[in-house]
A = this chain, B = another copy of it.
């Protein structure tokens, strides 16, 4: 790769968030600000091991090739580019130095976290947690990271004490697109229906499989509007999750990392339970976390 940059500022390093379906990269200035951002569909899920290097070269074409690259996410899984073995909690979110990918380019992958009992894993969220702690030194509390697989992490003294994953986002996607509910759910939103769904599921979380089918029956018998049904489906699933995650948030301060509608929905649901909520942007936390990971490599690399 040429070091000739088409960017507007000096690029000190490259930040990469490499998930299952997406590859995102930022040319970073020395002060931690992104100079340029790019993303592509070269997610880890569609790449063979020998395709990661070329995919990174395509994404970063024109950026300096001789600066370190710090990557987080599924790129470090067993099916990824190079396995970055999990660090075991309790530990700092960046407990282990990123793993160097063999080859001419200085690419480093941040390891994920694992928990032995109950068994759980994360890859990528540890970097956002590190970013939040870098922005809030000494902060103790609970971090919620909404997504396909929502994570709840308990933070104390700079360490992830324990965490827990809920398949809520994936359940929503499967149910709304592939189940019998697809006939009753469509684009749209209704705050009141969302809130009622949260309340119903928190009150009777065990009944979730029946509450879900009731969306279909309610549509057939009463003609519920599709957008209202979508909000209720989301509310039921998030409410059931909140019921199960109660030990994490009850009487605690919760930071939600995420800026999209789903993060806003979690914030609304938690606020309705009288939980104080702080919000932080996912991209901002990823970049702060990757910057913190870079420091682990030593300032000269």
Which residues of A are at the interface with B, using a C-beta cutoff of 8 A?
78, 86, 114-116, 118-121, 149, 164-168, 170-171, 174-175, 178-180, 204-210, 212-214, 216-218, 220-222, 237, 240-241, 243-245
Contacts and interface: CB of A to CB of B under 8 A. Distances in A.
A167 B78 CA distance: 34
- Copy number in the complex reads 2
Residue of A204, A213, A221, A243 with most partner-chain B CB within 10 A: A213
Query: What are the nearest 5 A-B pairs in CB distance?
Result: A205-B206, A207-B244, A119-B217, A166-B209, A165-B213
Nearest to A165: B213
A114 B221 contact: yes
A174 B217 CA distance: 20
Residue of A149, A164, A221, A245 with most partner-chain B CB within 10 A: A221
Given A165-B210, A178-B178, A244-B208, A217 B171 contact: no
Given A167-B180, A180-B170, A218-B119, A208 B208 contact: yes
A207 B164 CA distance: 10
A221 B214 CA distance: 37
Contacts of A149: 180, 213
A237 B206 CA distance: 11
